[in-house]
Amino acid sequence: MKRSYWLAAILPLAACATGPAPYTGVVATVVPMNETAPMNGEGDLADDPAIWVNTADTASSLILGTNKDEGVYVYALDGGELQELPVGQVNNVDLRGNIAVASNDSHNVISWFDINPETLTVSHVGNSPTGKEEPYGICAGMSGETYKAAVTYKDGTIQIWSATWETVDTLTPSLDRVVKLPSKLEGCVFDDANERLFVGEEAFGVWAVDLKDEAAEPVVVDTIAAANGLVEDVEGMSLWLGDDSTSGYLVVSAQAADRYVVYDRAPPFAPRGVFSIVDNEATGIGGVSHTDGLDITSAPLPGLPGGLLVVQDDANPVSEYNQNFKMVDWTAIAEALGLN
């Protein structure tokens, strides 16, 4: 890491110590259209969702969600709980195709899961050691036929793993690259088509890592200090994909402000607006606060031609009690922010 990057990170840290950045723009509002069953109990349990789209029958798509004390839960699109997979203390989950990965700090491993499109069940198929304590965030990607998993850590480390296999029994991930950023990381998302990785540094902002050029320095997408809507902690992130590799949007959770910041997917990653999720008075589904993880699909789903956003909700309705995941129609977000 060049010195200039470290200095850029240090200066905003002092500024945000007194509170959230003074965002002066409009915060649009949308409402949740559905929610998952709660993770019954007290404590910070729910964290990160991942949406699996069943291409044969989109109505039978699934939502995977992490319970930080227990493992991975599986939900139907109507919010009903289908499975609990007690694999340990997992923080984040993501998927590509029919394979999901989770960061498991009970065993310092990547936990791997197979999604069976015929039975609509999720199976834990094994773990692969990270060689480093407390894997925190994780995201999945594809590079050609190669499956990618990026694991993030509280010390600013990013591990990028590759895996190719014929069956789950022959899974042998290899560590391809390590990237170092100044401080605590969690949320990340691969932009497969552009071979780019977006990563959130919780007390600083959002970075983009060029996966094509290992010599390239990470690029700053946005900072808390820039006052475009980010606040500490910078948390979950995902992409809404457009019709080509240059269209679409990056959505990032600004946790302490109960809001989300939207950027163009392509450089220069221009900010496109900020929104929050408020109470749906018509259905009685509550608004969302203090979001950790989120996921987006741009694939059309029943009643959702523009896709779906799923976010973790800290308070349902009381903070750290019966946490769950809320679902928002992407079209409502696009209309609220005037997106294409």
pLDDT of residue 41: 80
Give 193's strand partners: none
| Residue 12, preceding peptide bond in cis (omega within 30° of 0) | no
Residues of the chain with pLDDT under 50: 1-18
pLDDT of residue 61: 98
Give the HSE-up count for residue 133: Cα atoms under 13 Å, Cβ half-sphere.
1
Q: List C-alpha distances in Å: 170 to 114, 164, 261.
A: 13, 9, 40
Amino acid at 50: A
pLDDT of residue 8: 38
Residue 21 CB contacts under 8 Å (≥ 6 apart), including other chains:
15, 224, 225, 226, 227, 229, 230, 231
DSSP assignment of 126-144 equals: EEEE-SSS---EEEEEEET
pLDDT of residue 166: 57
Helix, strand or coil for residue 271?
Answer: strand
pLDDT of residue 22: 85
DSSP assignment, residue 332? H
Give the burial string for 206-230 (b: 16+ CB within 10 Å, else e). Answer: bbbbebeeeeeebebbbbbbebbbb
* Cα–Cα distance measured from residue 194 to residue 299, given in angstroms and rounded to the nearest whole number: 19
Main-chain dihedrals φ then ψ at residue 29, nearest 5 degrees? -125, 140
pLDDT of residue 169: 64
- Residue with token string 């679902």: 327
Please give the domain boundaries of the chain with CATH numbers for all domains: 3-24+47-263 (2.120.10.30)
CB-based contact 45:321 (threshold 8 Å)? no
pLDDT of residue 19: 56
* Cα–Cα distance measured from residue 327 to residue 325, given in angstroms and rounded to the nearest whole number: 7
CB-based contact 150:163 (threshold 8 Å)? no
pLDDT of residue 42: 85
